[in-house]
Protein backbone atom coordinates (compact mmCIF):
# COMPACT_ATOMS: atom_id res chain seq x y z
CA UNK A 1 0.00 0.00 0.00
CA UNK A 2 1.45 3.36 -1.10
CA UNK A 3 0.37 6.53 0.72
CA UNK A 4 0.72 9.96 -0.90
CA UNK A 5 0.62 13.24 1.04
CA UNK A 6 0.08 16.74 -0.30
CA UNK A 7 -0.96 20.14 1.01
CA UNK A 8 -2.83 23.10 -0.40
CA UNK A 9 -5.22 25.93 0.29
CA UNK A 10 -7.80 24.80 -2.31
CA UNK A 11 -9.62 28.15 -2.37
CA UNK A 12 -12.09 28.68 -5.23
CA UNK A 13 -11.91 24.99 -6.09
CA UNK A 14 -11.37 24.56 -9.83
CA UNK A 15 -10.46 22.00 -12.50
CA UNK A 16 -6.75 22.49 -11.81
CA UNK A 17 -7.33 21.22 -8.28
CA UNK A 18 -9.27 18.20 -9.59
CA UNK A 19 -6.55 17.32 -12.10
CA UNK A 20 -3.78 17.72 -9.54
CA UNK A 21 -5.58 15.48 -7.03
CA UNK A 22 -6.21 12.87 -9.75
CA UNK A 23 -2.54 12.83 -10.70
CA UNK A 24 -1.51 12.61 -7.05
CA UNK A 25 -3.91 9.71 -6.49
CA UNK A 26 -2.37 7.89 -9.47
CA UNK A 27 0.95 7.82 -7.56
CA UNK A 28 -0.40 5.54 -4.83
CA UNK A 29 -3.26 3.76 -3.13
CA UNK A 30 -4.18 6.38 -0.53
CA UNK A 31 -4.14 10.16 -0.81
CA UNK A 32 -3.87 12.28 2.33
CA UNK A 33 -4.51 15.99 1.74
CA UNK A 34 -3.57 18.72 4.18
CA UNK A 35 -5.84 21.74 3.70
CA UNK A 36 -4.40 25.02 4.99
CA UNK A 37 -6.43 26.50 7.83
CA UNK A 38 -7.51 30.13 7.71
CA UNK A 39 -5.08 30.88 10.55
CA UNK A 40 -2.13 29.31 8.71
CA UNK A 41 -3.06 31.15 5.52
CA UNK A 42 -2.91 34.40 7.50
CA UNK A 43 0.63 33.49 8.63
CA UNK A 44 1.52 32.92 4.94
CA UNK A 45 0.04 36.32 4.05
CA UNK A 46 -2.85 34.76 2.13
CA UNK A 47 -6.55 35.31 2.48
CA UNK A 48 -9.24 32.96 1.27
CA UNK A 49 -12.76 33.47 0.04
CA UNK A 50 -13.98 30.05 1.15
CA UNK A 51 -13.56 29.24 4.89
CA UNK A 52 -11.40 26.29 5.95
CA UNK A 53 -14.30 24.05 7.01
CA UNK A 54 -15.92 24.36 3.57
CA UNK A 55 -12.64 23.89 1.69
CA UNK A 56 -11.86 20.76 3.73
CA UNK A 57 -15.34 19.38 3.03
CA UNK A 58 -15.02 20.04 -0.70
CA UNK A 59 -11.62 18.30 -0.85
CA UNK A 60 -12.93 15.35 1.17
CA UNK A 61 -15.74 14.96 -1.39
CA UNK A 62 -13.25 14.17 -4.15
CA UNK A 63 -13.30 10.43 -4.83
CA UNK A 64 -9.51 10.23 -5.04
CA UNK A 65 -8.97 11.68 -1.55
CA UNK A 66 -8.73 9.19 1.33
CA UNK A 67 -8.13 11.55 4.25
CA UNK A 68 -8.18 15.31 4.84
CA UNK A 69 -6.15 16.86 7.65
CA UNK A 70 -5.74 20.49 8.70
CA UNK A 71 -2.48 22.18 7.75
CA UNK A 72 -1.69 24.37 10.76
CA UNK A 73 1.96 25.24 10.09
CA UNK A 74 5.13 24.60 8.11
CA UNK A 75 6.67 22.47 10.84
CA UNK A 76 4.00 19.74 10.90
CA UNK A 77 4.95 18.10 7.60
CA UNK A 78 7.68 15.83 8.96
CA UNK A 79 5.38 14.53 11.71
CA UNK A 80 2.49 14.08 9.25
CA UNK A 81 4.74 11.94 7.02
CA UNK A 82 5.52 9.74 10.03
CA UNK A 83 1.97 9.67 11.46
CA UNK A 84 0.33 8.72 8.15
CA UNK A 85 3.01 6.28 6.95
CA UNK A 86 3.65 8.38 3.87
CA UNK A 87 5.63 6.89 1.00
CA UNK A 88 5.41 9.87 -1.38
CA UNK A 89 5.24 13.56 -0.49
CA UNK A 90 4.04 15.52 -3.53
CA UNK A 91 3.45 19.19 -4.25
CA UNK A 92 2.99 21.48 -7.23
CA UNK A 93 6.15 22.29 -9.20
CA UNK A 94 6.10 25.87 -7.92
CA UNK A 95 7.33 24.39 -4.61
CA UNK A 96 10.25 22.52 -6.26
CA UNK A 97 13.09 21.97 -3.80
CA UNK A 98 11.25 23.42 -0.79
CA UNK A 99 10.51 20.07 0.85
CA UNK A 100 13.54 18.02 -0.17
CA UNK A 101 14.54 17.74 3.51
CA UNK A 102 11.78 15.12 3.85
CA UNK A 103 13.58 12.80 1.41
CA UNK A 104 15.08 10.87 4.33
CA UNK A 105 11.52 9.71 5.15
CA UNK A 106 9.84 9.32 1.74
CA UNK A 107 10.05 10.05 -1.98
CA UNK A 108 9.50 13.68 -3.00
CA UNK A 109 7.59 14.54 -6.19
CA UNK A 110 6.83 17.96 -7.69
CA UNK A 111 4.03 17.96 -10.27
CA UNK A 112 3.30 20.58 -12.91
CA UNK A 113 0.11 22.51 -12.37
CA UNK A 114 -2.71 22.83 -14.90
CA UNK A 115 -1.93 25.59 -17.40
CA UNK A 116 -4.16 28.64 -17.52
CA UNK A 117 -6.00 28.32 -14.22
CA UNK A 118 -5.25 29.12 -10.60
CA UNK A 119 -7.11 30.48 -7.60
CA UNK A 120 -4.94 33.61 -7.82
CA UNK A 121 -6.02 34.21 -11.43
CA UNK A 122 -9.66 33.65 -10.51
CA UNK A 123 -9.39 36.18 -7.67
CA UNK A 124 -7.80 38.70 -10.04
CA UNK A 125 -10.65 38.23 -12.50
CA UNK A 126 -13.25 38.62 -9.75
CA UNK A 127 -11.56 41.84 -8.64
CA UNK A 128 -11.81 43.27 -12.17
CA UNK A 129 -15.32 42.56 -13.52
CA UNK A 130 -14.41 44.09 -16.90
CA UNK A 131 -11.81 41.34 -17.39
CA UNK A 132 -14.11 38.58 -16.17
CA UNK A 133 -14.49 35.70 -18.59
CA UNK A 134 -18.08 34.70 -17.83
CA UNK A 135 -17.85 31.44 -19.77
CA UNK A 136 -14.93 30.35 -17.60
CA UNK A 137 -16.77 31.36 -14.43
CA UNK A 138 -19.85 29.41 -15.54
CA UNK A 139 -17.65 26.39 -16.31
CA UNK A 140 -15.99 26.61 -12.88
CA UNK A 141 -19.36 26.88 -11.16
CA UNK A 142 -20.72 23.92 -13.16
CA UNK A 143 -17.69 21.86 -12.18
CA UNK A 144 -18.13 22.76 -8.52
CA UNK A 145 -21.84 21.88 -8.74
CA UNK A 146 -20.93 18.47 -10.18
CA UNK A 147 -18.55 17.84 -7.30
CA UNK A 148 -21.25 18.83 -4.78
CA UNK A 149 -23.87 16.68 -6.56
CA UNK A 150 -21.54 13.67 -6.65
CA UNK A 151 -20.70 14.14 -2.98
CA UNK A 152 -24.39 14.34 -2.07
CA UNK A 153 -25.20 11.07 -3.81
CA UNK A 154 -22.40 9.30 -1.92
CA UNK A 155 -23.76 10.25 1.49
**Backbone phi, then psi, for 3, in 5-degree steps?**
-110, 130
Contact criterion met (CB below 8 Å) for 31 and 111: no
Predicted pLDDT of residue 92: 87
Task: Give pLDDT < 50 ranges for the chain.
Answer: none
Mean pLDDT of the chain: 86
Is the C-alpha dihedral spanning 22, 26, 29, 31 positive or negative? negative
Predicted pLDDT of residue 147: 82
Q: Quick check: is 98 catalytic?
A: no
Q: Quick check: is 44 catalytic?
A: yes
Q: Domain residues for 123? A: 3-154
Predicted pLDDT of residue 51: 92
CATH number where 14 lies:
3.40.50.620
Predicted pLDDT of residue 115: 64
The total domain count for the chain is 1
The pTM for the full model equals 0.75
Predicted pLDDT of residue 150: 80
Contacts of 27 (CB under 8 A, 6+ apart): 2, 4, 88, 90, 109
150-154: long-range contacts, CB 8 A cutoff, minimum separation 24: 150/61, 150/63, 151/61, 154/61
H/E element holding 119?
helix 119-127
- Bridge partners (DSSP) of residue 67 are 32
Cα 91 to Cα 7: distance, rounded to the nearest angstrom: 7
Amino acid sequence: MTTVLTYGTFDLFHIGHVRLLERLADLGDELVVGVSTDEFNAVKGKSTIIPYEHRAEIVSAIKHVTTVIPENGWEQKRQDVIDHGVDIFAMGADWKGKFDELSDLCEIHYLERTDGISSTKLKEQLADPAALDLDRVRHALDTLQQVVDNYSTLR
